[in-house]
Amino acid sequence: MTARRAYPSDLSDARWALIAPRLTAWRQARTDA
């Protein structure tokens, strides 16, 4: 299988590590209501 080309909007693992906790908290707050 060939690797797909990266998109300009792709996140690195380091950036995802910064965003994931906030996104998870936001999702949980939205579903708890």
Predicted confidence (pLDDT) per residue in 1-33, tens digit: 688 898 999 999 999 999 999 999 999 999 875
pTM for the whole structure:
0.54
Q: Most distant CA pair in the chain: distance in Å? A: 43
CA distance 4 to 7: 9
Give the pLDDT of residue 1: 66
Q: What is the pLDDT of residue 15?
A: 94
pLDDT of residue 4: 86
3-class state of residue 8 by DSSP: coil
Phi, psi of 5 (to 5 degrees): -75, 145
